[in-house]
Amino acid sequence: MIRRSSIVTLIVCATLCFSSAALAASTFSGYVDLRYRYEYQHHFNLKAYGEQPAKGESCDGFWLQRLRIGGSWRANDWLTVAVGMQDSRVFDSDLDADSYFYNKRLDHQKNPYEDQWELYQTYLELKPFQEHDLTLRIGRQSICYGDNRIFGPGNWGNSGSYHWDAAKLSWHSGDHFIDLLWGAHIIHEPEQFSLRHRHENYGGGFYSHAQISDDWAIEPFYVIKYDEHGSFSAESGTDDLVCHSLGSRVTGLIGPMILDATLVGQWGHFGEDDLRAWGAHFGLGHCFKHVPWQPTIKVDYCYASGDRDPDDGTRQTFLGVFGARDSMYGRINLFSWSNLHEVQATVMAKPRKHLKLTMELHRFWLAAKQDGWSLSSKTYRDKTGKSGSHVGDELDLIVQWQLPALRPVKGEKISIRAGYSRFWPGEFAKNVADNVAADWVFAQIQYSYRF
């Protein structure tokens, strides 16, 4: 049997040989992206909350490292070949990854911190019918659209939330496009190459964009998410997952205000329960371009339905789609787009050309107080609804600075980002988890080079 290390060595050698040959051609483009981040979590972790959490450590400080390297070669007008690798690692974490990140349903680790030497952006892109503006991309790829709420790579996570093995057929005409998709996203198992184990969820459908006018656009979509391993436990029994999501995003201008809205309906089955759920987002913002520091003020509201009756055989908990949650439901990532009411106020300012300051205020409620908190819906749930619905409030402060170039090389960037967040528990969190506040601190430096 071929060892994983041998496979990685072969891929790295092939990548280097390919890159060396392609560099001689003017159609080669490459990238190197290296990121280091320090995080300190106080009174919470990725799956639990409080001074004595149900799982994992209450306080943890650790380093994250991520390297992405690769490139693409345009062989001719109808063929592009891309090869890339990603290596994600964590240092000094107090978590026992084998137990903390082990997923019983997948029978593997599902690790957001670490996944060593995995394929990244490795695909063939074909344009066999150029006169019809069609492009076919097959292989490992990132899939993202719009505000990343429906499809998003989840790049803040060290290993990335969604890396797809997929086929995508795209039609573009000016500002209009429609993409047909089919594939599956990988499991981030640190010590196993992804080609040697199953995927997590399978999915497909379409995502489109129609530019109605200079100021307005609409993005209809349909997505199916399914898993036929029969491992989804529900009120009526355990079975497969089949989730259909149909909806649209709309963006435009209302006077000086920027509107961004998304509405999604879901149906299908979760285990042996019928699935009937929906989610929505509505945002209004305005940038004062002629004011010092060019401040932007934005207000957002998010909704995701929850299950109001734990015994009726119908699941009303919205499952999200394949979207990121990096900056949408609080920076600490205590929430996802599920059983949620959220109101968010954001203020951004640019004191300097390459310096950006952001402050966010969030308030979170459960959409259905009989359902669970998405941090761990089985652990933090009161089926009687007597624990209330207000989960808590969060303050996020972020500073981002792009450093001056160290050398006169086009395509090279170095950026620094740092932040602090505090979460104050509300009635529900105090009743089912803990009454202590949680804090999060991070500092990150990122180097990227495109050539």
pLDDT band of 13, cuts 50, 70, 90 = very low
Contacts with 192 (C-beta within 8 Å, 6 or more apart), sequence order: 4, 108
| 35-39, 152-156, 220-224, 361-365: least confidently modelled range | 152-156
Q: What is the pLDDT of residue 230?
A: 87
Task: Give per-residue pLDDT as tens, 106-141.
Answer: 889 999 999 999 999 999 999 987 677 899 999 999
Q: How many domains does the chain have?
A: 1
Q: Percent of the chain, pLDDT > 70?
A: 94
* Alpha helices for 212-336 (secondary structure H): none
Decide if pLDDT at 427 tops 90. yes
Mean per-residue pLDDT, 246-264: 96
Considering only residues 321 and 18, tell me which one the structure prediction assigns the higher pLDDT: 321
Q: What is the pLDDT of residue 424?
A: 98
* Rounded Cα–Cα distance for residues 362 and 440 (Å): 15
Task: Give per-residue pLDDT as tens, 257-311.
Answer: 999 999 999 999 999 999 999 999 999 999 999 999 999 999 999 999 999 998 8
**Per-residue DSSP letter, 288:** -
Decide if pLDDT at 11 tops 50. no
Q: What is the pLDDT of residue 408?
A: 81
* Rounded Cα–Cα distance for residues 13 and 351 (Å): 45
- Tokens representing residue 396 in the block: 């996020």
Decide if pLDDT at 20 tops 80. no
Q: What is the pLDDT of residue 434?
A: 97
- Beta carbons of 250 and 237 less than 8 angstroms apart: no
pLDDT band of 10, cuts 50, 70, 90 = very low
Work out whether strand 314-315 and strand 176-185 pair parallel, antiparallel, or are unpaired: unpaired
* Rounded Cα–Cα distance for residues 333 and 423 (Å): 11
Q: What is the pLDDT of residue 19?
A: 44
Mean per-residue pLDDT, 21-46: 85
Backbone angles phi, psi at 19, to 5 degrees: -65, -40
Q: What is the pLDDT of residue 21?
A: 45
3-state secondary structure of 403: coil
Decide if pLDDT at 159 tops 60. yes
Beta bridge partners of 284: 259, 299
**Per-residue DSSP letter, 132:** G
State which amino acid sits at residue 319.
L
Q: What is the pLDDT of residue 3?
A: 39
Decide if pLDDT at 24 tops 70. no
Mean pLDDT over the full length of the chain? 92
Backbone angles phi, psi at 22, to 5 degrees: -75, -30
**Per-residue DSSP letter, 430:** H
Mean per-residue pLDDT, 130-154: 92
Q: What is the pLDDT of residue 18?
A: 45
- Beta strand ranges found along 26-58 (DSSP E): 28-42
Mean per-residue pLDDT, 370-384: 96
* CATH number, residue 9: 2.40.160.100
* Rounded Cα–Cα distance for residues 254 and 30 (Å): 41
The dihedral over CA atoms of 83, 86, 87, 93, expressed in degrees to the nearest 10, equals -170
If you compute the radius of gyration of the chain from its CA atoms, what whole number of angstroms results?
22
**Which string of DSSP letters, residue by residue, matches 215-248?**
S-EEEEEEEEEEEEEEEEE-SS-EEEEEEEEEEE
Cα 87 from chain centre:
18
Q: What is the pLDDT of residue 16?
A: 43
Domain that holds residue 216: 4-450
State which amino acid sits at residue 2.
I
- Beta carbons of 389 and 370 less than 8 angstroms apart: no
Whole-prediction pTM value?
A: 0.91
Decide if pLDDT at 437 tops 50. yes
